[in-house]
Amino acid sequence: MLKKSSLFILQKLKLSNLYWNAKSIKKTDTGKNHKYTHISRSIQQIAVFFLILSSFLLFLTECNSPKEEKNNLSQNITPQKPEKFWNTTPNFNADSCYYFVKQQVDLGPRVPGSKAHEKCVLWLKQFFESKQCKVELQKFVATTFDKKQWTGTNIIVKYNPNNNHRILLCAHYDTRPFADRDEVKNKNQAIPGANDGASGVAVLMSVIQSIQQLPLKNIGIDIVLFDLEDYGDAGGDSKTWCLGSQHWAKNLSPTSIKPVEGILLDMVGDTNAVFPKEGVSIQYHPTLVHSIWTIAQKAGYRKYFIDESTNEITDDHLFINVYTNIPTIDIVHYHPQKSDFFDHHHKITDDMKNISKQTLQAVGQTLLYYLYQQEEKLNHDNP
- For ligand 1BN, the binding residues (CB under 6 A) are 196, 230, 232, 234, 241, 266, 314-315
Please, what is the minimum distance in Å from the beta carbon of residue 239 to ligand 1BN? 10
Identity at 363, one-letter amino acid code = V
Helix (H, G, I), strand (E, B) or coil at 172: strand
User: What distance in Å separates the CA atoms of residue 72 and residue 58, rounded to the nearest whole number?
Assistant: 16
**315 interacts with Zn ion by CB under 5 A:** no
**227 interacts with Zn ion by CB under 5 A:** no
332: which residues sit within 8 A by CB, 6+ positions away?
264, 265, 266, 267, 268, 275, 278, 313, 315, 341
- In the bound state with ligand 1BN, the residue whose beta carbon lies nearer, of 266 and 375, is 266
Residue in 172, 168, 167, 143 with CA at minimum distance from that of residue 155:
172
**Could you say which of 62, 69, 182, 196 contacts Zn ion (CB under 5 A)?**
196
Residue 315, binding choice from Zn ion, ligand 1BN, none, Cβ under 5 to 8 Å by partner class: ligand 1BN
* Candidate segments 130-138, 193-201, 255-263, 301-309, binder of Zn ion by CB under 5 A: 193-201
The total of other beta-carbon atoms located within 10 Å of residue 351's CB is: 15
Please, what is the minimum distance in Å from the beta carbon of residue 231 to ligand 1BN? 9
Residue in 108, 143, 140, 144 with CA at minimum distance from that of residue 123:
108
Please, what is the minimum distance in Å from the beta carbon of residue 317 to ligand 1BN? 11
**Could you say which of 83, 230, 270, 278 contacts Zn ion (CB under 5 A)?**
230
Long-range contacts of 120-127 (CB under 8 A, 24+ apart): 120/173, 121/153, 121/155, 121/173, 124/155, 124/173, 124/201, 124/205, 124/225, 125/155, 127/205
- In the bound state with ligand 1BN, the residue whose beta carbon lies nearer, of 86 and 231, is 231
**330 interacts with Zn ion by CB under 5 A:** no
Residue nearest to ligand 1BN (CB): 314
Helix (H, G, I), strand (E, B) or coil at 200: helix
Please, what is the minimum distance in Å from the beta carbon of residue 241 to ligand 1BN? 5
Sign (positive or negative) of CA dihedral 136, 262, 200, 226: positive
Please, what is the minimum distance in Å from the beta carbon of residue 172 to ligand 1BN? 8
User: What distance in Å separates the CA atoms of residue 53 and residue 40, rounded to the nearest whole number?
Assistant: 20
Residue 241, binding choice from Zn ion, ligand 1BN, none, Cβ under 5 to 8 Å by partner class: ligand 1BN
- In the bound state with ligand 1BN, the residue whose beta carbon lies nearer, of 85 and 241, is 241
- In the bound state with ligand 1BN, the residue whose beta carbon lies nearer, of 81 and 338, is 338
Residue 227, binding choice from Zn ion, ligand 1BN, none, Cβ under 5 to 8 Å by partner class: none
Phi and psi torsions of 158, nearest 5°: -125, 120
> Rounded to a whole number, what is the distance in angstroms from the first to the last CA of the chain?
35
What residue ranges bind Zn ion (CB under 5 A)?
196, 230
